[in-house]
Structure 1
Amino acid sequence: MHMFEIYRDANKKYRFRMMEKDRVIAVSEGFEEKASVVAAIRDAREVAATARIADKSVPVG
C-alpha cells in the first residue's frame, strides 16, 4: 500500500515522503506552509500516472 506522510525536517520545513510499506520511494522539497505541502501531494497524485521518464544518468563503461 502506498501512502504519503507529511513531516517536518530539521529546518522546521514541511515535507512529504511517499512510502510503500516501510520503504521510502520519494521525498519532496521543503515547504514553509503545511497547505503548500498538501497542495504538492495533490499535484503529485494528479500527474504521477501519466508522467514520462527522462533518464539523465551517465552510462557506465
Structure 2
Amino acid sequence: MFQETPIYSRLVAERGDVPQVVRGEAERIQRDLGRLIAMNPQAPLGGQHYRPQAAH
C-alpha cells in the first residue's frame, strides 16, 4: 500500500492501528450480514419494516 513513515509508526504506538481495527470490524460485519442473508434468501428487496400492532 504505502511505505510507513516514522510519524505513522508513532501514531500506531500511541493510538493503535485504527485502519486495521476498522478493516477487521468491516470484515466481521460483512460475515454477519452474509450469514443473515443466507438464512433468509426469500426476504423481499429493500427489507421489511417493523410495524407494531395496536394494543387491544
**TM-score, normalized by length of structure 1?**
0.29
Computing the radius of gyration from Cα coordinates, the structure with the larger value is 2
Higher relative contact order (CA 8 A, sep 6+): 1
Higher helix share: 2
